Structure 1
Amino acid sequence: MAETVVEEETKTSSAVDVPWNVVVHNDPVNLTAYVTRVFQKVFGYSKTRAEKHMLEVHNLGRSIVWTGARERAEAYVEQLHGYLLLSTLEKSV
C-alpha cells in the first residue's frame, strides 16, 4: 500500500499580490474641471473627492487616485490614457 505524502503549500509573495497604485501626474494641457470630471466618471468619485485628487495633481504634481489589484490598476491607467491624462502604475509601498 502506497503511503500518502501531504505537502504543505507555501504562499510566495509575487508582484501580482502587491497592491498597485494608479498615479495621475500634472500636465499643462488639461483643465482642472476636466480632470475632476474624468475622476468622477472613471472612479465614480463624488465631486468633492475628485476635486481633492485634482488639487493634489495640480499642487503636488501627482496624486495616487486608486490602489488595488494590478489587473484593475492597469485597466484604470488605460482608461485615463483614453481621456489623455498622464498616468502611471507603481507598486504600493
Structure 2
Amino acid sequence: MKQRARTAAEARHRHQRRRQRHRPEPSDPHNYTHRREFLKRLDDHLATLVAELRDKGLGARAIRGKLRSELREVGRQVLGEHKTGQPGPNAALTK
C-alpha cells in the first residue's frame, strides 16, 4: 500500500508534537542536577569523602564502592526532594 505524501503543514505539526513529547518538565530532577552549583557541591562532597576514606586506609575498590553508594543516596535524596518540593532535614547538596 502506498503512503500519501505529507503536506508541509502536517510535517511541521508532527515535528512540533514530537518536540513537546521529549521536552523535560521544569520540575524534572535532571534540570536541577545538571547545574554548576549542584555539581560543584557534589564534587566537593565526593572529594572530601575520598580523602576521608584514604585516611582510613581503604583501597581503591572499597572507595569505589563507597562512592557508588553515596551517589545512589544523593540520587534518592534529590528525587525525594523534588517529590515534596523542599529540601530534606539533612540536605547538604540541594540547599
Normalising by the residue count of structure 2, what TM-score does the alignment of the two structures yield? 0.28
* Structure showing the higher helix proportion among its residues: 2
* Structure showing the higher strand proportion among its residues: 1
Normalising by the residue count of structure 1, what TM-score does the alignment of the two structures yield? 0.28
